[in-house]
Structure 1
C-alpha cells in the first residue's frame, strides 16, 4: 500500500467517522471509519519506513584488476 492509498483511507475513514450521520441496518459507519483510519495510518507508517530504508541502503561495486605477466 503506497502513501497515496494510505492518505485516501485516512480521508474516507475520517469522513465516515465524523461527517456521515446516515444509518445503515447492521453496519456502524463510525466503526468502519475508525477501521479505515487505522488501516490508513498503519499503511502510511509502513510506507514511510520502507521508503526511508530504501534511501539508506548503500551500493558498492567491486572491480577486479588482473595482471598479465609475459
Structure 2
C-alpha cells in the first residue's frame, strides 16, 4: 500500500508543480508540489525497503524414540508473518 501511496503523492505533487499555473496569495502551489513529490519518493523508497526486507524463518527439530524403540524426528518450519515487526 505504501508504494501506491508514494506514487499518488508524487503524481499529485507533479501536477501542482508543473501543470497548474495558478497564483494564490496565501500559499505557493509550486513549493507544495515539490514537497509532495519529495514525500512521495520517500514513501515509495520506504515501501520498497519494507517489502524487500529479509524474512526470518525458524526451523525446530525434535528428536526422540518412539514406543517401539525407533528413532523419530519432527521438523517444523515457521516464517514470521508480515504484520509482525
Alignment TM-score, normalising by the size of structure 1: 0.84
How far apart are 1:37 and its partner, in Å?
A: 0.3
| 2:2 counterpart residue number | 2
2:5 and 2:66 map into 1 onto residues whose CA distance is 57
1:52 deviates by: 0.8
Q: Does 1:45 align with 2:45?
A: yes
Q: Which has the higher helix share?
A: 1
- Structure 2 gaps of 5+ residues are 70-85
Report the equivalent of 2:77.
none
Correspondence for 2:21: 21
Taking the aligned partners of 1:23 and 1:4, their CA distance within structure 2 comes to 30
Which stretches of structure 1, 4 residues or more, deviate above 4 A after TM superposition? none
* 2:12 is the counterpart of 1:12: yes
Specify every segment of 5 or more residues in structure 1 that has no aligned partner in the other structure, as ranges: none
Name which structure has the greater RCO, CA cutoff 8 Å, separation 6+.
1
Question: Which structure has the larger Rg?
Answer: 2
**How far is the alpha carbon of 1:68 from its aligned partner?**
5.5
Equivalent pairs counted in the alignment come to 68
